[in-house]
Amino acid sequence: MRYVILRDDDTNALTPVDCLETLYRPFLDRGLPVNLATIPEVRTRATTPDGQREGFLPREENPAVEKVPLAENRALVDYLQANRGYHIVQHGCHHDCFEFDRPDRNEVTRRLALGAQRLGEAGFGEVRAFVAPHDKFSAVAYEEAARRFPVISSGWFEWRRLPAAWRWRYLLKKLSGRPHWRVGESLLLSHPGCLLSHTRSLESILPAIQQAIHRQKVTVLVTHWWEYFRDGKPDAPFIRVLHDTAGYLATRHDLRVVAFGSLNAATATDAAPQGSAMNATVAAQR
């Protein structure tokens, strides 16, 4: 059995319900879980590392409002609560640029706690995974996130950013060629880049996903809802690729689409003789 985790980044209090519904109804109707890396209290002027306005924000700025907690969008919260196929993942706190690439432990813990509080106020108190904005962590951010979350999902892990105590485990991971690893009680999952992106040729996306899934036991597929609605209009051909992906995932009997939070249980019940990649990784590190 192989496992796939779909991770959609950047849902926030300003995200229109219609966008998520358009993208994910085919997943929800097929019982495929969708992990939403959700910004707990979005900064309305958040920028990308190159200084552009973030694509998940409305095009029109509202200078009167600096930050918006998720709970303020009642329609969105009700929608997410009503559709249990959505699984909320904490995505930073305000989604400031490189928000968790900072050395100040107090500030890191303050943002982790405030983010958790804002998600809790929206009714999402049992969040089991963390995604840092722009996939960037400092060493103290890794430590503090691992203290709070059973799963950390990131694009990659850089030796020089890791806490010193983690580095030998990282070496073992590198030597074994495995994409995922574990420190203490936390699973550290990498992903093979944003395969579901409008910057790729559309016809190459599904084959790239199939290859990635074939290469490893557990694959995290990352996408961004707002990429399908650039300029305020739905990109129908790109949306079709996403829906074709749902069809593919639903019909393969050797694949199981899971939420981050159920990954341990899912891999533990994998009866394949060689064990899952995750179990093998854990065993190698004991």
Convert residues 101-140 into a mask of x (bound to Zn ion by CB under 5 A) and - (unbound). --------------------------------x-------
3-state secondary structure of 2: strand
- Closest separation in Å from C-beta 161 to Zn ion: 18
**Shortest Å, Cβ 131 to Zn ion:** 7
Smaller CB distance to Zn ion: residue 51 or 177? 51
Residue 54 interacts with Zn ion (CB under 5 A): yes or no: no
Q: By CB under 5 A, which span of 2-10, 104-112, 198-206, 229-237 interacts with Zn ion?
A: 2-10
| Interaction between residue 9 and Zn ion (CB under 5 A) | yes
The smaller minimum CB distance to Zn ion, of residues 46 and 258, is found at 46
Structure tokens at 117: 């509080």
Give the gyration radius of the chain's Cα atoms: 18
Cα 240 to Cα 115: distance, rounded to the nearest angstrom: 33
Tell me the C-alpha distance between 126 and 29, whole Å: 23
Stretch that binds Zn ion, among 5-13, 139-147, 241-249, 274-282 (CB under 5 A): 5-13
In the complex, minimum distance from the CB of residue 250 to Zn ion, in angstroms, rounded to a whole number: 27
Name which of 48 and 269 has its Cβ closer to Zn ion: 48
CA neighbor of 215 nearest in space, from 172, 243, 173, 180: 180
Q: Which is nearer to Zn ion, 99 or 270 (CB)?
A: 99
Scanning 8-16, 109-117, 120-128, 194-202 for contacts with Zn ion by CB under 5 A, the matching segment is 8-16
Q: Can you tell me the distance from the alpha carbon of 270 to that of 124, in angstroms, rounded to the nearest whole number? A: 29
Q: Which is nearer to Zn ion, 40 or 133 (CB)?
A: 133
- The DSSP H or E segment spanning 109 is helix 105-121
Which residue number, 9 or 144, has a Cβ lying nearer to Zn ion?
Answer: 9
Helical packing angle, 236-251 and 202-215, nearest 10°: 30
Place of tokens 């409002």: 65
User: How do 186-189 and 151-153 pair as beta strands?
Assistant: parallel
Contact present, 245 and 209 (Cβ < 8 Å): yes
CB of 206 to Zn ion, least distance (A): 24
CB of 168 to Zn ion, least distance (A): 30
Q: Which of 2, 3, 5, 10 binds Zn ion (CB under 5 A)?
A: 10
CB of 224 to Zn ion, least distance (A): 7
- For 266, the token pair is 């899912």
Q: Residue 134 or residue 243: which is nearer to Zn ion going by CB? A: 134
User: Which residues within the stretch 133-192 sit at the binding site for Zn ion (CB under 5 A)?
Assistant: 133
Task: From residue 173, give the alpha-carbon distance in Å to each of 59, 88, 102, 129, 179.
Answer: 42, 28, 25, 20, 7
The count of residues interacting with Zn ion (CB under 5 A) is 3
Q: What does the DSSP 8-state code read for residue 199? A: T
Q: Which residues are bridge partners to 188 per DSSP? A: 152, 181
Distance CA 123, CA 26 (A): 25
Q: How far is the CB of 230 from Zn ion (least distance, A)?
A: 16
73, two tokens? 């969008």
Residue 151 or residue 266: which is nearer to Zn ion going by CB?
151
Q: Is 41 in the site for Zn ion (CB under 5 A)?
A: no
Q: Which residues form the interface with Zn ion (CB under 5 A)?
A: 9-10, 133
